[in-house]
Structure 1
Amino acid sequence: MHSRPEEMVGAGRALNAVPPGAGAAAMATGIVSVALHSAGIEWFSRIWLVVAVGIWAVLVGIFLARLVGDRARWETEADTPAALTAVAATTVLGTRVALLGWDAIAVFALCLAVLVWVVLMPAVIGHWTGPTVGAHFLLCVATQGLVVLGATLAVELRAPFLTAASGAVFVLGLIAYTAVLARFSFAQFRIGAGDHWVCAGGLAISALAAGKLVAATDAADWNGWPHTVIRVGAAVILALDLAGYLALAICEVRWPRLGFDVRRWSTAFPMGMTAAATITVAGAIGAPWLRSIGLVLIWPAVALCLVLLVASARHLVSAGTADTSAG
């Protein structure tokens, strides 16, 4: 029987092994909560919100511990695209709490996400490598996450300046997506370990951002050509996202990858984001038939998140036990 100190050491070593890309777990569970809320399944949505906040809190603790206790490692990890999951997860959770009416917390989340985005983006871009892989699309995902939260708050707070700022950042997000796509290796569809799905995830969150901007421009009574362009853009981006989702699903059948990898959370996130985006865009452009598609797409994301929660827990327990035994 292990003593309590050994168990604590094992837990510490297991958490020490958590990679920066684990932030995708908070992103995935958080967007599942958003999608379920959009579907009107509030009780289930709140369960997933609790799970997402719990994961986010643990990851923040790890982030701060490494910043204070292992600065060299923190700086190395901050240079990687996976570090941007911190921004995306914060914006997703901020959006969800805004939908609960907790505006003060959502505003804090937006300010925190902007600060982290400003710190991390130059470091990630400065260490750009090619060809790009799925994780590089987090440059787009993190940026559009700011738009989603900003536009949501623009409606909640009746703040047109947030609508204008979100629109400008939305364009930056599209530029980031295009820049990554231009150097993306589509061989990732065959050999990727899970993060290759962020290729579709970048489109999904861009579509969601556009849908949120439609609502924000409506709230601000901006009914000119920008409103029309955003509505059309939302429909086009969503169509591309759904096509990418289908292509990636076919590739999963053609080249199955069944072993556990933490990057599989980056598969669950685009699946949940596509569901949320489809429901939101359906309302934004007045296409109720699209909502039915979004409602169906929620459940594969929920199922995958459940599987990954169990697999991740087992992986952490195994890592802690193995490290303790080795020690």
Structure 2
Amino acid sequence: MPGTSPLRAWWAQRPPAAGAAVMATGVVSIGLGLSGHEVLSLVLLALACAAWVALAADFVVRLLWQRQRWLAEAGTPAALTAVAATTVLGARFSALDRQLVAEALLALAAVLWPVLLALLVKHWRRRMAGAVFLACVATQGLAVLGAALAEAESAAWLAHTALVLFWLGIVVYGLALARFDPRQVLEGGGDHWVAGGALAISALAGSKLLAADGPALYLWNADDRGVLRFMTLALLVLDLCWYAVLLAAEVVRPRPRHDVRRWATVFPMGMTAAAMLSVASAAGLPSLSGPGEVLLWIAVAAWVAVAARAAAAARAAVRPSTSRHRRPEPRSRAPR
């Protein structure tokens, strides 16, 4: 568009998948908080919040003034990053005892979730990319945040609602798996990792539900707690299996080119670490803390690598090459 700055032109072309950057940054912040690295965790939380505010403003602008584009993008799986990112930030604020902020984020996510999920289901088809699992991630994100707030506020109704969402998320995962194209494991641009990340956030939701039960809030009897604990551990094991398969696929078929969907690779890495650290505490398995720490620093390294590539790509997009603006040298008029 004539007169449009390169920065605005680059931002206008931002795909919905960019919301995965907030998810990835937020979940790495959660993992760092669980492992006691509070300062670094808060730095990443600030970055995630800044990105969330910018993306939320853009979401509203498109909804109000670019309705056709909003509807087209809202029907894609990547649109559910809006819900998932909001719940991830809410969970971190809840851990910081900022319950009012966490409650507001839960309310916002709860309003967006059924709308965006319904639009996605209308467009479901066979052989979809890994972003299809964001339907499960968004659902389990609500369960995670709901369970965290239930523990903080001693709200049994919220814990039971989170439990319903937990089981619903597992059902949604099965439906998404039936529509996932297995070839994406070797061919995907980065969002194929969400196949494992959805199981990781499911395990995290289970651990939060286990943690919500206690002397102040009796929720589950021995049988219920046993089933919930077994399912949480099973989900974590399945997630680790996916992690191994996806990592092996990256070695067999490297994809070094920068892609915004690589943020959806960092998110499952960070979520697996956070889930392992949370399960170690909630399920009474301290032996998981060591591997969880290792996976956390792998996720931090992946975050740094993707952030550096994203910054370089953005710089190239908003700062056109000098050759593009270089005036052509005048041709010599001297007779030959």
**TM-score over 0.5 for the pair:** yes
What 5-or-longer segments of structure 2 have no aligned partner? 326-336
2:265 corresponds to: 267
1:131 lines up with 2:119 in the alignment: no
What 5-or-longer segments of structure 1 have no aligned partner? none
1:120 lines up with 2:116 in the alignment: yes
1:221 corresponds to: 218
1:28 lines up with 2:35 in the alignment: no
Shift, 1:68, TM fit: 2.2
Compute the TM-score of the two structures, normalised by the length of structure 2: 0.92
1:100 corresponds to: 96
Tell me, in whole angstroms, the C-alpha distance in 2 between the residues paired with 1:294 and 1:240. Answer: 15
2:68 corresponds to: 72
1:282 lines up with 2:280 in the alignment: yes
Tell me, in whole angstroms, the C-alpha distance in 2 between the residues paired with 1:15 and 1:286. Answer: 46
1:251 lines up with 2:249 in the alignment: yes
Contact 1:22/1:263, CA 8 A, preserved across alignment: yes
Tell me, in whole angstroms, the C-alpha distance in 2 between the residues paired with 1:102 and 1:40. Answer: 18
1:88 lines up with 2:84 in the alignment: yes
**SS of equivalent to 2:264:** helix
1:206 corresponds to: 202
Tell me, in whole angstroms, the C-alpha distance in 1 between the residues paired with 2:315 and 2:110. Answer: 34
Shift, 1:10, TM fit: 1.3
Shift, 1:144, TM fit: 0.1
Shift, 1:78, TM fit: 0.3
Tell me, in whole angstroms, the C-alpha distance in 2 between the residues paired with 1:285 and 1:217. Answer: 12
Cα deviation, 1:94-129, whole Å, max 9, x if unaligned, reads: 000111111000000000000010221111111112
Shift, 1:322, TM fit: 4.7
2:290 corresponds to: 292
**SS of equivalent to 1:182:** helix
Tell me, in whole angstroms, the C-alpha distance in 2 between the residues paired with 1:178 and 1:20. Answer: 24
Shift, 1:65, TM fit: 1.8
Shift, 1:323, TM fit: 11
Cα deviation, 1:49-107, whole Å, max 9, x if unaligned, reads: 01111111111122122122211111100000100000000000000011111100000
Consecutive aligned runs of 4 or more in structure 1 exceeding 4 Å deviation: 322-326
Contact 1:151/1:213, CA 8 A, preserved across alignment: yes
**SS of equivalent to 1:186:** coil
Tell me, in whole angstroms, the C-alpha distance in 2 between the residues paired with 1:176 and 1:323. Answer: 46
Compute the TM-score of the two structures, normalised by the length of structure 1: 0.95
Cα deviation, 1:249-270, whole Å, max 9, x if unaligned, reads: 1111110000000000000000
Tell me, in whole angstroms, the C-alpha distance in 2 between the residues paired with 1:92 and 1:69. Answer: 28
Structure showing greater Rg: 2
Shift, 1:133, TM fit: 1.9
Tell me, in whole angstroms, the C-alpha distance in 1 between the residues paired with 2:218 and 2:91. Answer: 22
Q: Which has the higher helix share?
A: 1
Contact 2:156/2:219, CA 8 A, preserved across alignment: no
Tell me, in whole angstroms, the C-alpha distance in 1 between the residues paired with 2:52 and 2:200. Answer: 21
- Report sequence identity in percent: 45
Contact 2:125/2:179, CA 8 A, preserved across alignment: no
